[in-house]
Structure 1
Amino acid sequence: MQFDTKFAIVVADDLPTWQKLNVVSFLSGGVTQTPQVTTGQTYCDASGQGYLPLCVQPIIVLKANRDKLSTFVQRANRQQVDTAIFIDDMFQSGNDEANRKTVYQYETSQLPLVGIAMFGDKTLVDKVFKGAKLHD
C-alpha cells in the first residue's frame, strides 16, 4: 500500500541502543496522539484475546548526527510542521512534567536533541529530514 503521508523518526546516531529504543518509543507515542495519525482496529487472536490497535502506516526510523537534528527541527519549525522532540536531559528527568521543564530551559537553537519525529505529507517530511540515513 502506498501512502501520501510519512511517519518518520530520526535518532542521534551516537546513542547506545537502549537509548535509541527509548527515544523511538517516546516519540512514536507522541506523534500517534495527533489527530492526523490513523490507527487501525483492535487485533484479536484465534483464542478471542484482544490487543490494542496499531498505527496503520509504517514508521520509518532514521539516524543522523546531533548537528543534523538541530537542522531538522529548524526546518520543521520554518515549515510550521508539528514535531515531537526528545532531548538528552530527558534520560535523567524521570517524568513528563520534568521532561517539559528541562526542554523549557533551552532556546530552540540550543536544544540538545537526540530525537525528532513528525508525521505529514511525504514530500514535506522528506524535505525536513533531508540528509538523514535509514537506521540499520
Structure 2
Amino acid sequence: MTSDIIRFETKIAIVVRDDLATWQKLNVASFLAGGIAGSYPELIGERYGDASGRNYGPLIRQPILIFAASGEEMKKVLDRATDRGVTPSIYTRELFSTGNDRDNRAAVAAFPTEDLDLVGLGLHAERKAIDKIIKGLSLHP
C-alpha cells in the first residue's frame, strides 16, 4: 500500500467553544461536520470496503481541524469569515434545547447576529482564507 501525502487546496476547520461540556463539544463538532458535508457534497469520498467484502459508508475526503475558542473569539471568527465571503455553518447554545431542524432554525432566527450565543462554527474555504479566519486560535486539546 502506498501513502501519498496530499496537500488540499481547501481547509476544513471547526471552531468549538472551550467552556462546553465534553458531550456538547462532540455534539457541536458532529453537527457542524454534517453541515459542511451537506454544503459541499464534493468533499464526500467514496464508500469503503474491507478485504472480507463488507462495505462501509463514505467519509469526508480531507482532514478536519478542530480549534478551541472563547465566546469573544467565536464572534471574531464569524466576523472574519463574513468579511472574506465565507459562509459558515453555525451552532448556538439554544440548539442544545431543541429537538429538530425546524426548531433549530427558529432558535437562530430569533436573534440578530450580534446577539447569537455561538458555541460552534464550521468553515470550508481555500487554505489561506481559513488560516486568516482562525488566526490566533489553537487546535482543540
- Paired with 1:88 and 1:43, the residues of 2 have a C-alpha distance of 35
Q: Which stretches of structure 1, 4 residues or longer, exceed 6 Å deviation after superposition?
A: none
What residue number does 1:59 align with? 64
Q: Are the equivalent residues in 2 in contact too, given 1:88–1:114 (CA < 8 A)?
A: yes
- Paired with 2:28 and 2:100, the residues of 1 have a C-alpha distance of 14
TM-score, with structure 1 as normaliser:
0.95
1:122 aligns with 2:127: yes
Shift of 1:119: 0.5
User: Residue type matched to 2:106 in 1?
Assistant: K
Match of 1:95 among 75, 97, 100: 100
What residue number does 1:47 align with? 52
Match of 1:13 among 18, 22, 43: 18
**In the comparison of the two structures, how many residue pairs are matched?**
136
- Paired with 2:86 and 2:41, the residues of 1 have a C-alpha distance of 12
TM-score, with structure 2 as normaliser:
0.92
Shift of 1:36: 6.3
Shift of 1:67: 0.8
- Paired with 2:116 and 2:138, the residues of 1 have a C-alpha distance of 21
Give the SS at the match of 1:63. Answer: strand
Shift of 1:25: 0.2
Q: Are the equivalent residues in 2 in contact too, given 1:62–1:134 (CA < 8 A)?
A: yes
Give the SS at the match of 1:41. Answer: coil
- Paired with 1:53 and 1:9, the residues of 2 have a C-alpha distance of 20
Alignment deviations for residues 47-106 of structure 1 (CA, whole Å, 9 cap, x no partner):
211111111100000001011101111111121211100000000011111000000011
User: Residue type matched to 1:39 in 2?
Assistant: I
- Paired with 1:37 and 1:133, the residues of 2 have a C-alpha distance of 27
Match of 1:85 among 75, 85, 90: 90
**What stretches of structure 1 of length at least 5 have no aligned partner?**
none
**What stretches of structure 2 of length at least 5 have no aligned partner?**
1-5
Shift of 1:37: 4.3
